[in-house]
Every structure is written in C-alpha cells, then in structure tokens.
C-alpha cells in the first residue's frame, strides 16, 4: 500500500563528492555535494546542484573551473565538515589536513587523499531554484594506482565511495551484477 | 601515486532508477537510467541524462511527463533488461511483469513493485552531447508504507536501492553517519 507525500527530492542513492574550486586570487576551497551526477558520456559532462549562497557557487561562476574528487568512506568526517563549514570563514584544506595537489588543466587543486579526481571546465549554469545547476565538462581524470586493477579499471571495493540516502551517509556492500548481464533477455 | 586518464564520466556511485513515460496515444514504457540526480531541493527538481536515440527520449519530449521509480535490488534482472531492450520493439511492462499503477498528476504510470515513485513534469531539455539533459519538477511522491518507519521516514535498508559504479551494479551496506554529524567541527 502506497502513501502519497508532498513533493521532495527522492532519488537515491546519490554520490557524495568533494568539489574543489579557487578564487580569482588563488585561494582554494572544498565543498561537499550530493546533488551531483554524470549526465552525458560524450563529451563527459557532470551536473552539480549548488545553493547560490554557498561560497563555492561564486568561485565556480567566476573562474569557470572545478575538480570533482571522489572521497573514500575513511574521509567521512572531513566530508561532513566540508559540507557544514563555509570557505568564507575558514580554510578547509588547513582544518581538514586534506592535501591540495596541482591539477593539470585547471587552477583548482586535486585532493590527494581522494582516489579519483576529475578536472572540469564549466560549460553552463542554469538557474533552477534554491539550488542552481552547473554543467561541467571533464577534461582529464586522475586515478590512484592503488585502486586500479591489472586491466587499468577502477576497483570500487578499494575506493569505498560514500552513498547518500537523503540525510544519511551509507557504505557500499558488493557488486551484484554488471551492466548488460541480461543481454536484453528476460 | 596517481595516473592521468583521458576524460570519462567518473562520478560514482550513481543511483539506478526506472523511469516510466507514455506516448501521446497512451502506450507506456520503462527506461533504466543511472545518469540521474536530485539537482535542486526547492522546487524539487531532478536531472536525467538520456540518449536522443532512445524511445523514451521522444516520449518525454512530447508529453513532458515522466515518473522516477526507485527499484529494489530484488528487481535487478528487470532493471538491467529495461536498460537493454527498446520500447520501440517490446512492451517492457508485459515482458518484465512489472505492474503499472495509475499516477495522481501525470499520465505515465507508477511501477507498483518500486517502493518509491516520483511523478515529474518536464521543465527544460538541454542539449549536451550523446546524452541530453532533462530537468523535471517532482509534483507528488508515493512511498510504500512497508518502507516507512514510525516517523514516516524512508528506511533505506528496507528499500535496498541499487547503486551503479560505472558498469557495475552494487548493493548498499549500512548507514555510516548522518548529514551534519560533525556539526561543522573537525
């Protein structure tokens, strides 16, 4: 039996990512986002939902560059903190002791402790509501060798990414199938 | 040590959802998507990335309505099938034995077996690349009473949603924290 609820965003699980960005004068910041997604495979494009009052919103708008860093669950405390504190008030790299590393193609740094980092160029900003939508094209990806298997593919069990279920952080359990395993037959 | 990779979409985990849509003459279809996200909390807005050659692309474009259904991992075979087969060729409701139920505000049906269903109105379509972006506003949500706790909140352990790690379906393990648990302190 279903019950009807007033509308709320209810897609889950969401990914939890740390997005790095920089001010025009080169100060770097980290924002935690769960309103984030792959949206197009080619050109590889990501969508981020960010509130206009967030410090990172202005930085990304001004510099048109950001990096999406995939944290491991070992970083959960830093992840939550970077979603709560504001870069207007504090230096999140300093307080979290996360390590900025130079990017290849954009100014915002990678986070060393995150096993996967995607450098992005802002392509479009779309006004939506309390969050606006940023579309970024991924221009280069960095992956920690320790999470790659012998075929050069990411071993997700080694990354231990964090999923977000509307207010709750969750860990992943195990692979239950591969895309296409039914071969289009039921 | 990090290795540099040519750009590819690398946000994970992604949600796995079953999107229902209908043709102008009332035929319903199901498409499986992992390029999907909450993007704005108010108005509650979701983003979907869909390839223009998919049958559902045209249906959503024409009718400007769709439903996002959250499947449980028990439905994995149906989920994979609905991502592989095309509604141009087959009736996916019939073949999967998933049950269409009437929606309240839109024409495409809910999937009864999915514990959470969000009825959506298309607000914008944005041309991106091999996938285009559909932005939909959620107008009503349906939740199976069996997955609600005594406070009326969703118990994710009961839903058993599916996460997608770039080619692999994964199950979730356990809650490892709640949003805001650090209270902005590190």
pLDDT tens for A40-72 read 999 999 999 999 999 999 999 999 999 999 999
Averaged pLDDT, B27-44 = 98
pLDDT at position B186 over 90: no
Structure token pair of residue B162? 């599916």
Contact A6 B140 (CB under 8 A): yes
Q: Which CATH class, in words, describes the domain spanning B14-171?
A: mainly beta
pLDDT at position B104 over 90: yes
Chain A's closest residue to B78, CA to CA, is: A186
Residue A127 to residue A9: CA distance in whole angstroms: 17
Distance from CA of A59 to the nearest CA of B (A): 19
Contact B46 A183 (CB under 8 A): no
Averaged pLDDT, B139-167 = 97
Distance from CA of B107 to the nearest CA of A (A): 16
Residues of B within 8 A of A121 (CB-CB) are none
pLDDT per residue over B64-84, tens digit each?
999 999 999 999 999 999 999
Residues of A within 8 A of B155 (CB-CB) are none
Averaged pLDDT, B151-176 = 97
String of b and e for A64-93 (b: at least 16 CB within 10 Å)?
Answer: bbbbbbbbbbebbebbbbbbbbebeebebb
Residue from B11, B86, B96 whose CB has the most chain A CBs within 10 Å, to mutate: B11
Residue with tokens 């999967």: B96
Give ∠ CA B175-B177-B183 in degrees, rounded to 5. 165
Contact B39 A17 (CB under 8 A): no
Sequential pLDDT tens for chain A (186 residues): 999 999 999 999 999 999 999 999 999 999 999 999 999 999 999 999 999 999 999 999 999 999 999 999 999 999 999 999 999 999 999 999 999 999 999 999 999 999 999 999 999 999 999 999 999 999 999 999 999 999 999 999 999 999 999 999 999 999 999 999 999 998
Under 8 Å CB pairs connecting chains A and B tally to 350
In this prediction the pTM is 0.97
Residue from A170, A178, A180 whose CB has the most chain B CBs within 10 Å, to mutate: A170
| Cross-chain CB nearest to A174 (options B78, B95, B171) | B171
Give residue B180's pLDDT.
97
Residues of B within 8 A of A132 (CB-CB) are 40
Give residue limits of the domains in chain A. Answer: 14-171
Residue B80 has phi, psi (to 5 degrees) of -65, -45
Helix (H) / strand (E) containing B117: strand B116-126
- Give the bridge partners for A22, in sequence order: A28
Give residue A186's pLDDT.
87
Averaged pLDDT, B18-33 = 97
């Amino acid at each position: 039996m279903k019950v009807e609820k007033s509308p709320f965003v209810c897609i889950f699980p969401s990914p939890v990512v740390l997005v790095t960005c920089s001010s025009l004068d080169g100060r770097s910041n980290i924002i935690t986002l769960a309103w984030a997604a792959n949206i197009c495979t080619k050109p590889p494009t990501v969508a981020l939902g960010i509130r206009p009052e967030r410090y990172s919103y202005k930085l990304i708008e001004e510099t048109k560059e950001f990096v999406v860093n995939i944290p491991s669950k070992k970083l959960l405390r830093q992840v939550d903190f970077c979603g709560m504190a504001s870069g207007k008030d504090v230096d999140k790299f300093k307080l979290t002791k996360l390590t900025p590393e130079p990017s290849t193609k954009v100014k915002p740094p990678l986070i060393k402790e995150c096993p996967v980092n995607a450098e992005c160029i802002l392509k479009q900003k779309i006004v939506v509501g309390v969050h606006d939508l940023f579309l970024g094209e991924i221009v280069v990806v960095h992956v920690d060798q320790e999470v790659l298997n012998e075929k050069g593919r990411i071993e997700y069990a080694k990354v231990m990414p964090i999923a977000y279920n509307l207010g709750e952080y969750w860990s992943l359990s195990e692979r239950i199938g591969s895309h296409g395993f039914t071969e289009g037959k039921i």
